[in-house]
Amino acid sequence: MKKRKSIIVKLTAALVFIVCIFSIVASPMSIAYKAQASSKPTDSKVQSYEERIAQLKKDQKAYEQQIKEAKASAASYQKQKEYLDKQIAAISEEIQLSNDLIIEYNNALIEKENEIANKQTEYDTRMQNFKARLRTSYEEGSMGYLTMLFSSKSLSGFLTSIERMTNMLNYDKRMMKELNDQKADLTESKDALEKIKADQQAVLASLQESEKTLEEKLAEVQKLYDDTKKNQQEREKMLAEAKKAEEKATKELDAYLEELAKKHSGVYEGGAFSWPLPKSENKITSKYGWRTYNIWGTTVTDYHRGIDISCVTGTPVYAAASGKVEISGWNDSYGYYVLINHGSGYTTLYAHNSQLLVKQGQWVDRGTMISKSGSTGNSSGPHLHLEISLNGKLLNPLEGGILSHPALKYYC
């Protein structure tokens, strides 16, 4: 039981140790990340340029996406067009065939009609002959028979003559019936042809209707294709314009930054550096120069490169004068620190911060909040370590009126 308890104590201690290590390792990283995320240019003109450039980049991305989509749509419409074109070509061929068939049927009909007409003429001629023969035999009447009778050498000869006459008339009648039958057959086959032709005409009409529908569909797709292409071209134009505008804005920003750099570089504006903390933070815990102090139970003597001003973690730290941020980063001694070049050989350094609010290369005005104080690096408690140098040589910030400051309290 006792053994088990001691294991639990050991495990808890190990866990606490891991959590502590993790927080020590993790917290500077999270601070660094925050510093990066919150570092924004302080110059409003630079900011407005950067916002404009960002917007133009965003626009370009959107246009590129729209162009991509338009191209995909156009390709799809193109495929539809090709498909419809093929269908129309096929149906046109069918229409051509159907037309040819109808022409053939027409020719066949004309032929049939001619045959019928010929048959009719033949029939009519035979009818006329028959009628003429009948008329002759009746008109001549008994005279004819009498003549035939008298001219016949015998009764049997007379009867033979009558029989021959009758046979001729019967033959005429038979022939006419035959002709009539043939004509009826022809008419029947003509009617059948007419029906086939009518069916083919119906097929043709339906094909033409389909062709019309397909052509309408094609016109619709063509319009969609044209609209999409037009849209694509417009977006391409807008993309080109946005690119141009971005290039222009970038050039203008570069020129403005150069102008700013010229304005700020090499010229220290003069006058005292301003107090880098709120005026209420006025407690000096370590002066500039040689000092002996106790840290973590050890007595240390060193040359203090600046002054320490006590302040709670998170207190805003302000640029003591305008200048260019030369360094905004980490150093094992300084922790998170900022070094500003003010021109004319002057630099100021702000150490042990908990959070950095500016980035390297950025221009800051006097009084710009550059960081938040803390106790990072070689520090025994939250304070701001301030250094001022001229041409690389450290200056005592509290001598010669170099730093304007509130009434100070000394704890050292």
- Considering the complex, state which of residue 205 and residue 295 has its C-beta at the smaller distance from Zn ion: 295
Residue type, 402: I
**Which whole-number Å values give the CA distances from 302 to 305, 314, 374, in the listed order?**
9, 27, 22
- Least Å distance, CB 365 to Zn ion, is 25
- Least Å distance, CB 8 to Zn ion, is 43
Beta strands in 194-334 (DSSP E): 283-286, 289-295, 298-304, 307-310, 316-318, 323-331
Q: Which residue is at the shortest CB distance from Zn ion?
A: 385
- Least Å distance, CB 282 to Zn ion, is 16
- Considering the complex, state which of residue 49 and residue 350 has its C-beta at the smaller distance from Zn ion: 350
- Least Å distance, CB 385 to Zn ion, is 3
How far is Cα 322 from Cα 316, in angstroms, rounded to an integer? Answer: 17
**Which whole-number Å values give the CA distances from 114 to 111, 120, 230, 242, 307, in the listed order?**
5, 10, 62, 80, 129
Residue type, 291: R
- Considering the complex, state which of residue 119 and residue 372 has its C-beta at the smaller distance from Zn ion: 372
Q: How many residues does the chain have?
A: 412
- Least Å distance, CB 387 to Zn ion, is 8
Q: Compute the CA torsion angle 358, 359, 360, 364 (nearest 10 deg).
A: -40
The DSSP call for residue 399 is S
- Least Å distance, CB 378 to Zn ion, is 9
How far is Cα 66 from Cα 75, in angstroms, rounded to an integer? Answer: 14
- Cα atoms in the Cβ-side hemisphere of radius 13 Å centred on 86: 6
- Considering the complex, state which of residue 214 and residue 307 has its C-beta at the smaller distance from Zn ion: 307
- Least Å distance, CB 12 to Zn ion, is 37
Under the rule (CB under 5 A), what is the footprint of Zn ion?
Answer: 308, 385
Q: Compute the CA torsion angle 47, 48, 53, 56 (nearest 10 deg).
A: 140
